[in-house]
Chain A
Amino acid sequence: MSEPLLKIEGISKHFGGFTALNNVTTHVNPGERFGLIGPNGSGKTTMINCVSGLLRNEEGKIIFDGRDVTDLKPHKRTGAGIARSFQIPRPFHTMSVIENLMIPAEFVGHHRGDKYDDRAESMEILETMGMADKAEDPTTDLTQIELRKLELARAMAAKPKLLISDEAMAGLTGQEVDEVIDILFKMNERGITIIMIEHIMRAVMRFSQRIICLDAGQLIAEGTPEDIMKDKGVERAYLGSTDEDG
């Protein structure tokens, strides 16, 4: 088996006396579709904040693409190939849709030196999202699903190796959820490794090849969607609420 793209080695994160993450160890393989689930407050967002660099884990190491990124700032990690979307969309609201994509295109700059058209590249990403017609619109005119798609599109513009999708589907309708899953599948087909954090079980189960479940900052289960569905610990963590989403 090849070397994992992302290795999380025993990371812990405390907020005062509260332990948000407790000695979590896992890995994500190149090209994998990886699901991260857990009840509210279980540490999912804390974990990906540690991976993307917005938070620093007090213990443990994060190895990305063979390089220890534990002490790197978020923008350096983005440069190394980790991009994320935000749970609550945070568009650059004074800019148009395409300008939002051109920020990572310009700043991550894998193309420094040669003549590379940020605008054309950004437009191409918008096309795969079905948002090409919105390119020049201000982000304040976008609907919820368009904002979610923009989050993913902007992350794509950073040309990541690893894309972290933080609850990109929360609050969307069934049809919209399918649309976002299709987009994520398309990105995965292009060779991008994807971590999906989601509450909508139907989506995670359909999308992921492998899933981990967090509860109260601890990793309680790891396996294929089928394994996770059958896992007693996961069921207990969710108190049977998994049935609700299917």
Chain B
Amino acid sequence: MKYMFEIVCLLLIVGIFVLTQVISNQFYFFIGFVILQYMVLATAWNILGGYAGYVNFGSAGFLATGAYTSVALINFLDIGLIEQMIIGGAMAGLLGLITGYLTLRLRGVYFAIATLALAIILETVVAHWDYVGGAAGTSILPKRKPELFDIMIVDRKTGVFANYKEYLFFLMGTVAVLSVWIARYIEQSKLGRGLNAIKDSEEAAECMGVPTLRLKLIATTISGAMMGVAGAPLASYLTFIDPLSAFNLEYAVNAIAMPMIGGTVSWMGPVIGALLLGTAQQVSSLWIQSELNLLIVGVLLVVFVIIAPEGIVGWFRKSRQGSRR
């Protein structure tokens, strides 16, 4: 069926909504949000890193752009979460476009360094910007009774969601499904094939009629925007935000590690990687020790680089091809 995937996407969103209505233990939404956020981040990273071969080491910078756009918007206009996510995404997308322009001559490790530098510059700027809390950070109190089209969204008795954790979980779940849909769409489109050609040989791609600059800018913009959307609700989720948490290196590392472990060639890779690594990290940091999760990333990365350099998806594909021969 032609729209099978779209139907599954819709069902997933409905399923996520049902979960928020059925489960009452807030704790699951608390950790579920983080895993879903990583899924968006990893999927976004993979559009540029996996399809086009440009390794972005500054994912935290794009995520924080979304987060701090929200903080500024809350301070300035007191607008709702969905608007924050849209504007935060737009800002991060714009940042992606600018990054693309500034780094268009850089390849390989130089591009990675440039993106890392970008994140550090942004962190410095935010740390000195008192309106959004500066280096000390700021507390964010979500709207007491948010409404959307006259429907009460969050209220213990009359709202669609009983509390903010459920609402945030639902929003991030929807965004995750949408980003995976976008990634899959790109992968199967002319854009995806062009990005793949760029990854293999940029000069050959250009000489074979691929408008490499335009495709790269589209990729940096979409990837940046998705990261911004993922970051926009961060302040509301944590109810407090400072540069250290928004620009955390963990975001940058996980955004790379998750697609690498899952497999960068397909949209499924980042999803699998985020589910696996995200869950492992949450479980270990909550039940065992909070410092353990970085160790887990490190060990898993080393293991995968050795036994399955093309990630879980690549490994499955290879073993399937192997058995056919």
- A75-B212, A106-B193 known; A94 and B200 CB under 8 Å? yes
A92–B209 CB distance below 8 A: no
Question: Are B201 and A95 in contact (CB-based, < 8 A)?
Answer: no
CB of B196 within 8 A of CB of A158, answer no
What's the tally of chain B residues with a CB closer than 8 Å to chain A?
20
* CB closest chain-A residue, reference B214: A75
By the criterion CB–CB under 8 Å, are A92 and B197 in contact?
yes
Q: Which of A71-103 contact B (CB under 8 A)?
A: 73-75, 78-79, 83-84, 86, 90-95, 99, 102-103
Interface presence of A13 (CB below 8 A): no
Q: CA–CA, A39 to B223, complex, Å?
A: 47
Please determine whether B206 and A107 come into contact, CB atoms closer than 8 angstroms: no
Knowing A94-B265, A103-B197, the reply to whether A75 touches B204 (Cβ < 8 A) is no
Residue A154 CB within 8 A of the other chain: yes
Smallest CB–CB gap between B298 and chain A, Å? Answer: 27
CA of A157 to CA of B209, assembled, Å? 10
How far is B190's CA from A78's CA once the two chains are assembled, in angstroms? 17
Please, how many angstroms separate the alpha-carbon atoms of A73 and B216 in the complex? 15
Find out whether the CB atom of B193 lies under 8 angstroms from the CB atom of A103.
yes
Assuming A91-B201, A93-B200, A95-B200, is B193 touching A74 (CB within 8 A)?
no
Q: CB of A108 within 8 A of chain B?
A: yes
B199 in the interface, Cβ–Cβ < 8 Å? yes
On whether A54 and B208 interact (CB within 8 A), knowing A92-B197, A94-B265, A106-B190, the answer reads no
Q: Does A52 contact B (CB under 8 A)?
A: yes
Contacts of A35 in B (CB 8 A): none
The answer for the CA separation of A23 and B11 in the assembled complex, in Å, is: 66
Indicate if A104 sits at the interface (CB-CB under 8 A). yes
Is B295 interfacial (CB-CB < 8 Å)? Answer: no
Chain B 196-231 interface 0/1 with A at a Cβ cutoff of 8 Å (1 = within) = 110111011111111111000000000000000000
Q: Mark A101-126, 1 if CB is under 8 A from B, else 0.
A: 01110111100000000000000000
CA distance A86 to B207 in the complex (A): 10
Tell me how far the C-beta of B281 lies from the nearest C-beta in chain A, rounded to whole angstroms.
30
Point out the residues of chain B lying under 8 angstroms from A99, CB to CB.
Answer: 193
- Residue on B nearest A106 in the bound complex, by CB: B190
- Beta-carbon contact of B201 and A103 below 8 Å: no
Given contacts A103-B193, A107-B194, contact A90 B209 (CB under 8 A): no
Set of chain A residues within 8 Å of B206, measured between Cβ atoms: 53-54, 73-75
Report which residue of B194, B209, B212 has the largest number of chain A beta carbons within 10 angstroms of its beta carbon: B209
In the complex formed, the residue of B with least CB distance to A52 is B207
Chain B residue nearest to A139 (CB atoms) is B200
Residues of A within 8 A of B208 (CB): 75, 78, 83, 103-104, 107-108, 154-155, 157-158
Whole-angstrom distance between the Cβ of A152 and the nearest chain B Cβ? 13
Q: Is the CB of B207 within 8 A of A92?
A: no
Contact of B196 among A86, A92, A155 (CB under 8 A): A92
Chain B, residue nearest A157 (CB): B208
**CB contact under 8 A between A107 and B210, given known A86-B204, A90-B204, A92-B205:** yes
Give me 11 A-to-B residue pairs in the complex whose CB atoms sit less than 8 angstroms apart, sorted by A's number.
A73-B211, A75-B208, A75-B210, A78-B209, A79-B209, A92-B205, A95-B197, A108-B208, A154-B204, A154-B208, A158-B208
Which 3 pairs across A and B sit closest by C-beta, in order of nearness?
A: A92-B200, A107-B209, A108-B209
Known contacts A90-B204, A157-B208, then 19 further A-B pairs from the complex at CB < 8 Å, ordered by chain A residue: A52-B207, A53-B207, A54-B206, A54-B207, A73-B206, A75-B208, A75-B210, A75-B212, A79-B209, A84-B207, A91-B200, A91-B204, A92-B201, A93-B200, A103-B193, A104-B209, A106-B193, A158-B208, A158-B209
